[in-house]
Amino acid sequence: MSRTRTALLAAMALVAGASGTAVAAYPGDVGISAVPCTVDYKVQNDWGTGFTANVTITNNSAAKSSWSLKWSYAGNQKVTNGWNAKVSQSGTAVTALNESYNGTLATGGSTSFGFQGTYSGTNAIPTTFTLDGVTCNVDGGTDPTDPTDPTDPGTGSRVDNPYSGAKVYVNPEWAANAAAEPGGSRVANQPTGVWLDRVAAINGAGGKMGLRAHLDEALKQKGSGELVVQLVIYDLPGRDCAALASNGEFGPTDIDKYKTQYIDPIAAILADSKYASLRIVTTVELDSLPNLVTNVSPRNTATPNCDTMKANGNYIKGVGYALNKLGDVANVYNYVDAGHHGWLGWDDNFSATVQTIKQAATAEGATVSDVHGFITNTANYSALKEPYFTINDSVNGKSVRESKWVDWNRYVDELSYAQAFRQEAVSQGFASGVGMLIDTSRNGWGGSARPTGPGAKTDVDTYVDGGRIDRRLNTGNWCNQSGAGLGERPQASPAAGIDAYVWVKPPGESDGASSAIPNDEGKGFDQMCDPTYTGNPRNNNHMSGALPNAPLSGHWFSAQFQQLMQNAYPPLS
């Protein structure tokens, strides 16, 4: 649960003796222009010994080309690192100076930065801030009717981090599959995502639970506390244009069917007041928007299907419509798919992906406020952290970026990528408090093949290959990867800017069939799921690394589940 200093508290603090010319004002008050500056200080995550916070400055005086914000703590809080500002501390006094790229503050302009800190005892929010020596009031920074404001006296009920202080729904169908496996009871109680990957899944298909059944079960699991339900929204027209294993039921032009047959029924169920006490997290349309960046002409990875979806705009329209309709439900938290570092970490992909997501987030009636955060590594295998080499290392005068594995990427693991992606999103206009999820369901890479130290410094490739945790043949390999293991268990607020590590992809559910299997689910055969496939430009023509004898995507794959448990990291007890 996050905390924020509201306008009412600011007024109380100023009456209690804050100096300077700042006067308390509520958002929308006619006197707001008399306030030289406002500061919105929000503790996003607090785990008892440490915390992360976001600070938004609004300048109501003359335009500035640089700025310095200062405050003091009443307790023993210590800032350990910051982003989007140079944050330093002397005793209890903290100073935040602008970076070179965000020093300009127009009259009425705002900028945001964040930081991580430690403390013991209490973590009281500062009451007085000065901007370039002038005292600011502390403004709540939210619209009184904004459903994302946790202090909203209206109907809204969102919090900054839905996972904070909450249990997460355990899908009984996945739990039963896991428990039926030898040793599976060790993880059968873990929360996983519920995939709504076709219209029939809304009401339940093939004897499986439908959306209402899952939500009813979630209410039983909730009890008197808070509970998160994780849903995967995944049925766009022309879905997964660069692959076949997860093709969907709607053709490239079926945008109206997507809206009326898929999104509208889901939104209607979620809006039922019966479920208003649940925190419903949606992962919105995996793999779609990044494909419009990397797999369209003139890229050498272009496919005709992705060119079609970029030309007709139905990925943009579909995601925008989903964000708008689902975002209208006060207890829904939309997280948009942001690929993974091995897909989008290059300079010509990274910023362009955020731009494309923002285009979708402002289409079909959606706004950036309909995006609560982003999720990376969904159903993928990228290592959470690479402890034995960094992007800044070099061997014999050659940068790690020149290695065949890194291949000029800017990132070597998911955590650094996700944190950087969040900063880029904020810089492009998404909310300063936007959070990240990382799917850690299959990125543990434990077992006997896991390195225990850096590679030899013979050359840059030996160094990277000898020390890398991710044991895939190429980061472009995505289907039922051989040697993979369960990753970090789901947990809230594990790192700065990260709302949670999650298992959105249920471990043991296949990525795609190893060979063509006739089906009525619209799922094709993708060669990347064939262990004999020798690759394509998207994986630098490496072998696929896929396990043999895999069933259709989403179907239970016992051999994979056993491998994931065997290679779990942290190991299973």
* Angle (nearest 5°) at CA 234 between 228 and 237: 155
Q: Which residue is associated with the tokens 């020596």?
A: 133
Radius of gyration of the chain (CA): 24
Q: In this structure, which amino acid lies at residue 339?
A: G
Q: Specify whether the CB–CB gap between 472 and 545 falls below 8 A.
A: yes
Strands 226-233 and 166-168: parallel
Quickly list DSSP for 473-516. Answer: S-TT--SSBTT----SPPEEEEETTEEEEE--SPTTB-SS-SS-
Q: Are 192 and 171 in contact (CB under 8 A)?
A: yes
Q: What residues pair up with 79 in beta bridges, in sequence order?
A: 117
Distance of alpha carbon 223 from alpha carbon 1, whole angstroms: 18
Strands 129-131 and 68-72: antiparallel
The neighbouring-strand residues paired with 436 are 374, 498
Query: Rounded distance, CA 4 to CA 27, Å?
Result: 15
CA distance 413 to 470: 9
- Beta-carbon-side half-sphere exposure of residue 54 (alpha carbons within 13 Å): 24
- Please check whether residue 279 is in contact with residue 166, taking contact to mean a CB–CB distance below 8 angstroms: yes
Which of 139, 240, 511, 526 is labelled catalytic?
511
**Bridge-based pairing state of the strands 134-138 and 37-46:** parallel
Residue type, 555: H
DSSP code at position 538: G
Strand 394-395 to strand 398-399: parallel, antiparallel, or no bridges (unpaired)? antiparallel
Q: Which of 287, 337, 470, 526 is catalytic?
A: 287
* Size of the chain, expressed as the number of residues it contains: 573
Identity of residue 503 = W
Examine the residue annotation and report whether 132 is marked as an active-site residue of this protein: no
The C-alpha atoms of residue 464 and residue 472 are separated, in whole angstroms, by: 13
For 114, the 3-state DSSP assignment is strand
- Residue 286 DSSP one-character state: T
Is 160 annotated in the active site?
no
Quick one: which of 494, 502, 474 has its CA closest to 377?
A: 502
Which residues are within 8 A (CB) of 422 and not within 5 positions of it... i.e. 6 or more apart? 374, 434, 435, 436, 497
CA distances (Å), origin 409, targets 192, 205, 286, 425, 465: 30, 42, 22, 19, 15
Q: Number of H helices and number of E strands within the chain? A: 14, 21
Q: Are 266 and 272 in contact (CB under 8 A)?
A: no
Active site residues: 287, 511
